[in-house]
C-alpha cells in the first residue's frame, strides 16, 4: 500500500533502477553477463522487465548467452589450430554438444521473455509482416 503525503528528499534521492525505470543488472552477474543484460534491456521498452520473475528469467538468459559465447570462442579457436595442437575429436564433439545445449536453453529463455519474433507475433501477423517486407 502506498504511503500518504509527499515524499521526503531522502526518499526521492534513492534510485532503485535506472533513470527511465529499466532494471539495473544484478550484482552477482559477471561483467560479460552484465553487458548482455544492459544490451537486452536497452533494446526493449522501459517497463518490459519490471517483475521479479522476468528479471530472474533475464538473469538466466544472460548466463546462457555468456556461456554460449564462451563455448563458441573455444570452438572457433580449435578450428584455427594445426591438427597436432587441436584437441581430440571426442572433446571437440563434447564442446559442440555443450554449445548446442546452451543455445537451446538461450532460445527457450528468449522465447519466454518474448524477445524473439516467434514469441511476439501470431502466425497470421508474422505472415502479414513477411508479405509487407517482400518475403513472399
Distance of CA 33 to the CA centre of its chain: 8
Give yes or no for residue 129 having a pLDDT over 90. Answer: no
- State how far the Cα of 78 lies from the Cα of 70, in Å rounded to an integer: 13
Which residue bears the cell 538466466? 60
pLDDT at 15: 41
CA angle 42, 45, 48 (to 5 degrees): 100
Distance of CA 32 to the CA centre of its chain: 11
Supply the pTM of this predicted model: 0.73
Compute φ and ψ for 85, nearest 5 degrees: -90, -25
List, for residues 83-102, the tens digit of each pLDDT value: 777 788 899 999 999 999 99
Question: Do 63 and 45 meet the contact criterion of CB atoms below 8 Å apart?
Answer: no
User: What's the whole-number mean pLDDT along residues 113-118?
Assistant: 84
Question: Do 129 and 121 meet the contact criterion of CB atoms below 8 Å apart?
Answer: yes
Distance of CA 76 to the CA centre of its chain: 22
pLDDT at 19: 63
Amino acid at each position: 500500500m502506498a504511503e500518504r503525503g509527499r515524499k521526503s528528499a531522502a526518499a526521492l534521492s534513492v534510485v532503485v533502477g535506472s533513470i527511465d525505470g529499466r532494471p539495473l543488472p544484478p550484482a552477482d552477474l559477471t561483467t560479460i553477463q552484465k553487458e548482455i543484460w544492459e544490451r537486452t534491456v536497452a533494446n526493449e521498452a522501459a517497463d518490459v522487465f519490471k517483475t521479479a520473475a522476468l528479471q530472474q528469467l533475464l538473469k538466466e538468459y544472460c548466463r546462457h548467452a555468456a556461456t554460449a559465447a564462451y563455448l563458441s570462442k573455444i570452438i572457433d579457436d580449435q578450428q584455427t589450430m594445426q591438427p597436432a595442437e587441436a584437441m581430440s575429436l571426442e572433446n571437440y564433439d563434447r564442446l559442440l554438444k555443450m554449445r548446442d545445449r546452451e543455445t537451446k536453453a538461450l532460445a527457450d529463455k528468449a522465447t519466454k521473455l518474448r524477445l524473439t519474433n516467434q514469441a511476439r507475433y501470431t502466425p497470421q501477423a508474422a505472415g502479414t509482416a513477411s508479405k509487407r517486407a517482400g518475403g513472399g
